[in-house]
């Protein structure tokens, strides 16, 4: 009888370890799948001929100009520190007339679709170093980078809408 109880105890311990391992793989797989899905989404959104810049590359730059191409209500919730709001629907080249055309400009929106369109307009206007932030502000926040509102750090991030908000895994979503 003791041998049977020992065997059952051993089996239960092994079963729990296997279950724990399987659960960990499953959870890790979900995170990995979302990341893969986000990368796939971005690949489909971006024009392969427009230059992207990663967060790591941005952090190596000296004083890049950040331009936020989202709508003003999105910008007001939060934005990358010192970003200048230029909008999307209301974008006009007059909003960037004070910028040096040789300055490094990093554009962003929620994921990078709107910012790429504004970037193309800037290139056509003669701006020489225009980059689209890979993954937009969603990726920025998901990587733990700070966002600001009225000069102070905030956890709030405008998620655009509930459909697009699924790509935000950190921060407090605002719609």
Kindly list the strands in the beta sheet with 129-133, ordered across the sheet, starting from the edge strand earlier in the chain. Answer: 52-53, 129-133, 104-108, 65-68, 84-85
Give the DSSP letter string of 36-80: HHHHHHHHHHS-TTSPEE-HHHHHTSSSPEEEE-S-HHHHHH-BS
Catalytic residue among 53, 109, 118, 159: 109
- Catalytic residue flag (residue 109): yes
User: Which residues are part of the catalytic machinery?
Assistant: 109
């Amino acid at each position: 009888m003791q041998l049977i109880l020992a065997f059952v105890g051993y089996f239960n311990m092994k079963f729990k370890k296997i279950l724990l391992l399987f659960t960990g793989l499953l959870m890790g797989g979900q995170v990995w799948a979302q990341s893969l899905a986000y990368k796939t989404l971005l690949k489909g959104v971006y024009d392969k001929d427009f230059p992207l810049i990663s967060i790591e590359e941005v952090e190596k730059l000296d004083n890049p100009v950040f331009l936020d191409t989202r709508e003003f209500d999105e910008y007001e919730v939060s934005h990358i520190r010192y970003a200048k709001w230029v909008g999307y629907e209301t974008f006009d080249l007059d909003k960037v007339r004070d910028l040096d055309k040789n300055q490094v400009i990093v554009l962003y929106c929620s994921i990078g679709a709107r910012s790429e369109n504004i970037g193309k307009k800037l290139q056509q206007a003669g701006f020489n170093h225009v980059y689209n932030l890979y993954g937009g502000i969603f990726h920025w926040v998901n990587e733990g980078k700070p966002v600001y509102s009225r000069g102070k750090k905030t956890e709030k991030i405008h998620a655009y809408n509930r459909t697009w908000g699924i790509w935000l895994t950190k921060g407090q979503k605002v719609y």
